[in-house]
Amino acid sequence: MRNYGTNVSMELHGIDVEITVHYDYATGGSNFHGSDEPAWAEVDFDESDLWHSKRTRQLMPTARKRIYKNLQDYIAECVLEQHDA
């Protein structure tokens, strides 16, 4: 099981949908972490971490695959923005 979870809204084929993404989040670099390297943050999730937001079950396999393949970067960007807020 992943350490975090959040809902992400998106538009698919003209329909607004919301999914729940379970993920791990890590940061590093910067003086805050006692490092000379630039600050970084990363989100780690895969296809099996995409769930229906209103039910406690995974999305259907074909939907998970399509969303992960086409919207993986968008989902990661949304999650990182929520951590920055």
Total structural domains within the chain:
1
**Residue 33 pLDDT greater than 70, yes or no:** no
pLDDT in tens, 1-28: 789 999 999 988 898 999 999 999 998 8
The CA-CA-CA angle for residues 45, 75, 67, to 5°, reads 85
User: Phi and psi of 31, rounded to 5°?
Assistant: -65, -30
The token pair at 65 is 């695959």
pTM: 0.85
User: Domain residues for 35?
Assistant: 4-84
Contact 35, 27 (CB under 8 A): no
Which pLDDT score is estimated for 47? 95
